Structure 1
């Protein structure tokens, strides 16, 4: 998939989720105010943070597609995990604010009994956010985008938090008003966990983390199947945002001419790049055996 198609798919998904999130956030905040539910208001704030994070996704996808230049000969793909780390920070900050507000309400004992409108808002949020997660994660897998994957899990965390909101609202209405604030604390913990996971994944994409075991095994198999390759002396992979770099040293017969050895290296190079769309470049070094 070329960069133009990748950007087109990512933008289409992001623009739709921005509109839905904005409408959903407005509905939840209004329902939370009129229904006197701190959990529903917190859930609405979470949805507003989704709008901001999706804008970051669009920016990350756009910047990462810039071609190589003199100052960036390896391209600009790492803009995407940089933006992903910003998303993780937004998630974590949102979680802390929600948790702080909930603890304050519990300590002050300022409880309210939520109205029925809070229940309807929570149910609507669960259904909508779960659909948004499935829609976004499907697109993220197609274009192999870490930023879009992070945004998808942002939607899923919102769905989880809405479940906690629903439980808290129902509990408060049957005689346990503290459960509305407890639900907000649960939401805080869920969002923090997702934020940390997303941050770690983005950090790995910036720190030359190796590819997963399955990918390495596939690359190894592809190399050893090429005629003329006696053995693999060294194989290194490094994640470069949504792409992958491969550096390999192979041994070939010392009796071969330079041209013959070069042809074998070329076969390795093209097979690795053609068989794995994530591989941006494969560097092959030849050793005499």
Structure 2
């Protein structure tokens, strides 16, 4: 587990880099957006403000998840990351709706102030910076296999794309289409809400013990191919932060000894760790051909 907590510390480093970048860029964009009269750049600045909150939530979740298991949390505190992401999604949605309301209001009230061309350069520079942050965090997330940091990296990439969209809107306004700047601000608001919805959907799916069926099939295949396993009565899995918890009921030759059955369980645990990087596997061994114990209800696929 020491390596796991060490990887979480590396993930915290990536979260800190995101926070620092967002603080600088959000202040820069908001000041320039107001100074250069660009609704799109101002909306992009508010987008980065929500990203500060989301990154802080990820950082807090990572710190809490480093707490070791205790009497109340036998599997550790890894789900803190998911809860933090869920909270961040509500904050992002609130800000996204605010940006939408302001942009639509300014569009229909006939405010047609042409933004300064320099605001487009601000947006493009911000896109390059966020692209660099995305590359750093995505590589680190793949290295330490951290889903929370990978989600933050994807948010970095979406922010770079939002900044490019803002630049396009500003340049369009320079070509005699002042409404295009407002339209870009509306698009930014929708993108903020869309990102918030994605985080909310993924978080609630994990918190309600949802699990991808294709991935569950892969886990079942790995178990079925383990020497000594003659059948699988049931297999379930759930996400616990960045970890996967697996419960499986296998069938073995009824003539095996207790020690031999235990050895098969050890092989399953080793294969799951090696092939899928899953550390928590609970294996229940049943003799093949013997009816399940009374009251046992096999898992029915949905």
TM-score using structure 2 length? 0.88
- What is the SS of the residue equivalent to 1:2? helix
Which residue of the partner structure matches residue 216 of structure 2? 216
Please give the alpha-carbon distance, in whole angstroms, between the structure 1 residues aligned to 2:11 and 2:52.
Answer: 15
Residues 24-103 of structure 1: pairs in structure 2 closer than 5 A: 24-103=25-104
Q: State yes or no: 1:280 paired with 2:266.
A: no
Contact 2:54/2:88 (CA < 8 Å) preserved in 1? yes
What RMSD over aligned residues (CA atoms) do the two structures have, in Å?
1.9
- What is the SS of the residue equivalent to 1:76? coil
Deviation of 1:180 (Å): 1.0
Which residue of the partner structure matches residue 226 of structure 1? 226
Q: Deviations over 1:17-61 (max 9, x none)?
A: 222222212221222122111111111121222222212111110
Contact 2:47/2:192 (CA < 8 Å) preserved in 1? no
Distance change (3 Å), C-alpha of 1:147 and 1:159? same
Which residue of the partner structure matches residue 129 of structure 1? 130
Deviation of 1:129 (Å): 1.6
Which residue of the partner structure matches residue 155 of structure 1? 156
Which residue of the partner structure matches residue 108 of structure 1? 109
Q: Deviations over 1:195-244 (max 9, x none)?
A: 1111111112211122452x434433432333322122222121222111
Please give the alpha-carbon distance, in whole angstroms, between the structure 1 residues aligned to 2:262 and 2:20.
Answer: 54
Q: Deviations over 1:75-110 (max 9, x none)?
A: 111101001112222221221111111011112112
Contact 1:84/1:199 (CA < 8 Å) preserved in 2? yes
Residues 17-28 of structure 1: pairs in structure 2 closer than 5 A: 17-28=18-29
153-162 or 65-74, which deviates more? 153-162
Deviation of 1:263 (Å): 2.4
Which residue of the partner structure matches residue 14 of structure 2? 13
Which residue of the partner structure matches residue 252 of structure 2? 252
255-264 or 108-117, which deviates more? 255-264
- What is the SS of the residue equivalent to 1:228? coil
71-80 or 1-10, which deviates more? 1-10
120-129 or 267-276, which deviates more? 267-276
Please give the alpha-carbon distance, in whole angstroms, between the structure 2 residues aligned to 1:234 and 1:163.
Answer: 49
Deviation of 1:123 (Å): 1.0
Q: State yes or no: 1:185 paired with 2:199.
A: no
Q: Deviations over 1:159-201 (max 9, x none)?
A: 2221221121112122121111111001111221121111111
Please give the alpha-carbon distance, in whole angstroms, between the structure 2 residues aligned to 1:38 and 1:236.
Answer: 49
Distance change (3 Å), C-alpha of 1:280 and 1:212? farther
Contact 1:84/1:150 (CA < 8 Å) preserved in 2? no
Contact 1:146/1:202 (CA < 8 Å) preserved in 2? no
Give the paired residue count.
287
TM-score using structure 1 length? 0.92
Contact 1:211/1:238 (CA < 8 Å) preserved in 2? no
Q: State yes or no: 1:3 paired with 2:7.
A: no
Please give the alpha-carbon distance, in whole angstroms, between the structure 2 residues aligned to 1:219 and 1:110.
Answer: 57
Please give the alpha-carbon distance, in whole angstroms, between the structure 2 residues aligned to 1:14 and 1:63.
Answer: 14
Deviation of 1:246 (Å): 1.1
Please give the alpha-carbon distance, in whole angstroms, between the structure 2 residues aligned to 1:154 and 1:223.
Answer: 35
Please give the alpha-carbon distance, in whole angstroms, between the structure 2 residues aligned to 1:141 and 1:203.
Answer: 23
Structure 1 gaps of 5+ residues are: none
